[in-house]
Structure 1
Amino acid sequence: MTISKAKLPDKSLLKIDEKSYDYIDSFQGNFIDKNGNIDITKIGKLFFSSGPKWIDNLFVLRNKLVRLLGLKTSGRITDRQKMLDNFKCEKGEQLGLFKVFDKTENEVILGEDDKHLNFRVSLLIDKQTENKTDKNLIISTTVKFNNWFGRLYFLPVRPFHKLIVPKILKGIINNIDDSKNK
């Protein structure tokens, strides 16, 4: 499976405000949806459960550090699986640090606004027109800095972000593939 760098898709809801972002990146990978049952809600749930354990550990460390600075954290997640089971990926819902800002048939926009920066994550299923079972999954991230502290905060985050997003994307696609083989 190949995960590659991509451009912010023209089909994405985030494209409208593209010029206002201070940072943008996108990564894409392909998957096959033979039964046509992989929808954006399933992708949204997989986003929260497909990363390697070291990513969870990084978020725990991040939350401990930024809490001291008065930034938003995901809070204590005592029963993550129960939260995931109840998560419908609907506009206005919150799971950890991520709020659902918008949702269409093929895209969900997650993110958060904080005093230092605002970020959005787009999970977009791009259906291939020539082959209805082949699909691209594109994860795009946008960041808008609200002040100098946002820029400073993002300096050490950026290299980790570029490692984390492709790993999560690969994990989502692996989980899709695993569920087809069961």
Structure 2
Amino acid sequence: MPREFELVMPVPVPSRSGITHLYKSMHLADAFAIRLPAGASRDPDVLARFILSHQPSWIGWLMQVRDTIAACFGLKTARYLASLAHRVGIFRVYSTNRTEIVLGEDDKHLDFRISILCADEAEPEGSRQLVFSTVVHCHNRLGRAYIFVIAPFHRLVVKASLVRAARVGWPLATRPPAIQ
């Protein structure tokens, strides 16, 4: 694995996340953390949009392969999902607050949620931790087979997306307008 992947660390799904106890049974639950530099945005919506819009190009190719196969099973495709309202990329927005945005989708084979959680507290050097978590609940054998096949790709995509965002340069925090 590339050395840059050392910037991304596997961590438990944070207990303060809105997705931690969402499903009674989870067929996939993972989380990856990366440090945000001092001065980077703390807005989870801004960070989610940034991460998902700066993914490596090979992820687009992988999504095309996934869509071709998914369409054969009557599953929602990325093209269809991207055409819907209230989205960050292809993902529906379920909730947002000052530290976390929860994205995801429900389908006939599985439901999933993604959390982009930005630590409230800064480290001594001014950096903060961003945690990208995913939980999946499968409804049937198709869902379990699907998650078995895509889980390794999912983890690689999350790590590569976080590394790419760090390489491009995280968006800066916006400052409130000066008081006149």
Q: How big is each residue's C-alpha offset from its partner over 1:23-49, in whole Å with a ceiling of 9 and x where there is no partner? A: 100000101132x64411210211221
Range 61-70 or range 167-176, more displaced: 167-176
One of 157, 162, 166 as aligned partner of 1:173: 166
1:152 and 2:157 matched: no
Q: Which has the higher contact order (CA 8 A, sep 6+)?
A: 2
For 1:50, the equivalent position in structure 2 comes to 54
1:41 and 2:53 matched: no
Q: What RMSD over aligned residues (CA atoms) do the two structures have, in Å?
A: 2.4
For 1:87, the equivalent position in structure 2 comes to none
TM-score, length of structure 2 as denominator length: 0.82
The 5-angstrom pairing of residues 1-182 of structure 1 reads 2-17=7-22, 19-34=24-39, 37-75=41-79, 93-131=86-124, 133-177=126-170
Q: How big is each residue's C-alpha offset from its partner over 1:6-35, in whole Å with a ceiling of 9 and x where there is no partner? A: 00001211123364322100000101132x
The whole-number CA distance in structure 2 between the counterparts of 1:18 and 1:112 is 14
Check whether the contact 2:44–2:100 (CA below 8 A) recurs between aligned residues.
Answer: yes
Q: What amino acid does structure 2 have at the position aligned with 1:4?
A: M
User: After TM superposition, where is structure 1 displaced by more than 4 Å over at least 4 residues in a row?
Assistant: none
Range 95-104 or range 51-60, more displaced: 95-104
- Percent identity (aligned): 29
Q: Count residues in correspondence.
A: 166
The whole-number CA distance in structure 1 between the counterparts of 2:78 and 2:89 is 4
The whole-number CA distance in structure 1 between the counterparts of 2:124 and 2:55 is 28
TM-score, length of structure 1 as denominator length: 0.81
The whole-number CA distance in structure 1 between the counterparts of 2:153 and 2:143 is 16
Check whether the contact 1:127–1:134 (CA below 8 A) recurs between aligned residues.
Answer: no
The whole-number CA distance in structure 1 between the counterparts of 2:169 and 2:121 is 17
The whole-number CA distance in structure 2 between the counterparts of 1:55 and 1:154 is 17
Check whether the contact 1:72–1:97 (CA below 8 A) recurs between aligned residues.
Answer: no
Q: What amino acid does structure 1 have at the position aligned with 2:33?
A: Q
Range 126-135 or range 24-33, more displaced: 126-135
Q: What amino acid does structure 1 have at the position aligned with 2:60?
A: D
Task: Give the direction of change, closer, same or farther, for the CA distance of 1:107–1:132 in structure 2 (3 Å limit).
Answer: farther
User: Counterpart of 2:169 in 1: which secondary structure?
Assistant: helix
In the TM superposition, residue 174 of structure 1 has moved relative to its aligned partner by 2.7
Q: How big is each residue's C-alpha offset from its partner over 1:54-78, in whole Å with a ceiling of 9 and x where there is no partner? A: 011100111111111100012269x
Gapped runs of 5+ residues in structure 2? 173-180
The whole-number CA distance in structure 1 between the counterparts of 2:30 and 2:122 is 24
